[in-house]
């Protein structure tokens, strides 16, 4: 269940209440007249089933409440209410299958911002991956995968492709390109300094690294894993399954490949430079293809659910 809080100009309060009352997934509707001061208006709250959120939010936007009032939605972790249970049963489909498009839009918009924290996390993750390449440590590879923040920007590209929003795709590509470039340069400089000061004693990366060779040795399995990770990542974002998203991070070798690339550049190991670049390209391509396909399938399946709901409602009406 989701908790909806709306600030409504007084002349539209009845329209909002009618909208919520007509929705089979809305319940616990509360109106507090004149409660809001900035912006001024009435406060209307309601609990809505996740699967009914899109139609409710669309109706509120049609009433101009984004402009003249305020709309806020938050997740309810523990709803103890028979009326809430009934609203979930009456709403079409299942909550885990429903995509709240406004929430996904917010997540991917935040993910495309080139912020200091994004660059910092990516640089730290890349440096961990660089150390993992030097000492052949799969544990550090996993740590670098989990720390990397890049998947939200990848999901933004997928979302932009399904919504035909070139500006969103361009913004996400810029963020990824700039973030990875900065992270690789920082790791490259650190590797050079470490080599010059004797911290890194080897003249080049080892030819045999049995535990981490997959970072710079892409094959068909690398692309298959990227496809699976892209689909799982988008599903975890749309269903709000953060634990599943962690599993996606651990399965994708974008950051480890970037770390290996930086160290290979510093030690002038040409074959691993090429392998790392190919690994990066395969991972991004696989995730974008699978993520876009997943969103398209989700939209098509949910449209089918709504059509079935409409047929049932028409049958009951007759």
CATH code, 2-95? 3.30.70
pLDDT of residue 90: 81
CB of 258 within 8 A of CB of 129?
yes
pLDDT of residue 240: 59
Predicted model pTM: 0.83
The whole-angstrom separation of Cα 8 and Cα 16 is: 8
H helices of the chain, in order, are 13-22, 53-62, 65-68, 82-90, 101-111, 116-135, 138-147, 151-163, 166-197, 220-239, 242-251, 254-266, 270-317
* Coil, strand or helix at 70: strand
Average pLDDT for runs of 10 along the chain of length 318: 93 93 89 92 92 90 92 87 82 73 87 90 93 88 87 92 93 95 95 86 74 84 89 82 59 84 86 88 93 91 70 48
pLDDT of residue 314: 44
CB of 75 within 8 A of CB of 2?
yes
Span 103-302 CATH architecture: Up-down Bundle (1.20)
Domain spans, the chain: 2-95, 103-302
137-142: which pairs have CB atoms within 8 A and are 24 or more residues apart? 137/211, 137/212, 138/211, 138/212, 141/212, 141/215, 141/253, 141/256, 142/250
Cα-based distances in Å from 176 to 37, 113, 119, 315:
41, 10, 10, 50
């Amino acid at each position: 269940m989701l908790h909806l809080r709306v600030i409504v100009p007084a002349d539209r309060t009845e329209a909002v209440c009618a909208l919520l009352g007509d929705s089979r997934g809305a319940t616990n509707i509360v109106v507090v007249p004149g409660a809001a001061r900035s912006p001024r208006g009435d406060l209307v709250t309601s609990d809505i089933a996740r699967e009914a959120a899109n139609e409710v939010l669309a109706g509120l936007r049609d009433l101009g409440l984004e402009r003249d009032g305020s709309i806020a939605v938050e997740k309810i972790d523990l709803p103890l209410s028979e009326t809430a249970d009934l609203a979930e049963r009456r709403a079409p489909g299942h909550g885990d299958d429903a995509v709240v498009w406004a929430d996904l839009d917010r997540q991917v918009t935040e993910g495309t911002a080139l912020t200091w924290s994004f660059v910092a996390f990516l640089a730290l993750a890349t440096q961990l991956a660089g150390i993992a390449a030097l000492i052949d440590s799969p544990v550090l590879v996993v740590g670098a995968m989990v720390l990397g923040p890049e998947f939200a920007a990848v999901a933004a590209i997928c979302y932009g492709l399904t919504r035909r929003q070139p500006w969103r795709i361009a913004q996400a590509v810029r963020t990824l390109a700039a973030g990875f470039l900065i992270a690789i340069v920082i790791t490259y400089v650190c590797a050079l300094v470490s080599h010059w000061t004797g911290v890194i004693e080897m003249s080049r990366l080892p030819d045999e690294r049995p535990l981490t060779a997959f970072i710079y040795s892409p094959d068909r399995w690398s692309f298959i894993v990227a496809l699976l990770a892209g689909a799982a990542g988008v599903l975890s974002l749309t269903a709000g399954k953060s634990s599943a998203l962690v599993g996606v991070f651990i399965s994708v070798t974008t950051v480890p490949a970037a770390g290996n690339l930086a160290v290979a550049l510093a030690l002038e190991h040409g074959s691993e430079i090429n392998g790392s670049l190919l690994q990066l390209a395969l991972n991004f391509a696989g995730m974008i293809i699978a993520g876009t396909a997943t969103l398209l399938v989700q939209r098509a399946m949910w449209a089918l659910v709504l059509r079935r709901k409409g047929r049932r409602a028409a049958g009951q009406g007759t």
